[in-house]
Amino acid sequence: MPFIPKTTIITDGVPEQTVVHNDGWFPDIDLHHMRDAMRLDGTVTTPRLIQAVAEAILHVNAELDAWQDAQLDDGYIALEAVPAKKVNQESRLVIHYRRAVYSTAKADLMEKYRDYDSTASSLSNKKATDNLDIGPGEQRRNAHWAIADILQRHHLTVELI
């Protein structure tokens, strides 16, 4: 279910891709919606965004692989078909899935383009750099929590060293 109308920008006679297609069970990712939701401007080019989203989809899908298999065994043909509470007429599972993909992709982009958000900050250069250092970790945490919410696990992971 798209959130905004799909517009196609044509550059050099070639339509720009606006959706990254998923495996058919998990939902496709609308790049315009992701840009709006994650505050990504034109600094991140569409080809770079597509690559980050594709990698994020692969990662999140791998994390949910066993859970997806269990849902398929129960006869659910898509994530939207799995019974779940709805918010704004959308399954909470789809909302969490999208957040996991968006957050994973943004973390990847932030790590690759360390200066990406530095001009948007009104903080001093040191504080802006410090924020960029923790930003990817916070995005990965958000993705981890979204996946945990789908799997109905606690957000806290503790390992013995």
Given a cut of 80, is residue 114 above it in pLDDT? no
Q: Does residue 32 or residue 119 have the better pLDDT? A: 32
Please write the tens of the pLDDT for every residue from 38-79.
999 888 999 999 999 999 999 999 999 999 999 999 999 999
- Cα separation of 76 and 59, whole Å? 21
Please check whether residue 1 lies inside any domain of the structure: no
Q: Is residue 110 part of a domain?
A: yes
Kind of pairing between the strands at 19-20 and 29-30? antiparallel
Looking at the 3D structure of the chain, how many domains does it have?
1
| Residue 3 domain flag | no
pLDDT at 4 over 50: no
Cβ atoms of 107 and 139 within 8 Å: the answer is yes
120-149 mean pLDDT: 72
For residue 160, tell me if it sits in a domain. Answer: no
What pLDDT is recorded for position 11? 54
Closest CA to 135 of 157, 156, 114, 158: 114
Q: Quick check: is 158 in a domain?
A: no
Q: Is residue 135 part of a domain?
A: yes
The answer to the question of residue 5 being in a domain is no
Q: Are 114 and 30 in contact (CB under 8 A)?
A: no
Question: What residues make up the domain containing 145?
Answer: 10-151
In a domain, 156, yes or no: no
Model-level pTM? 0.79
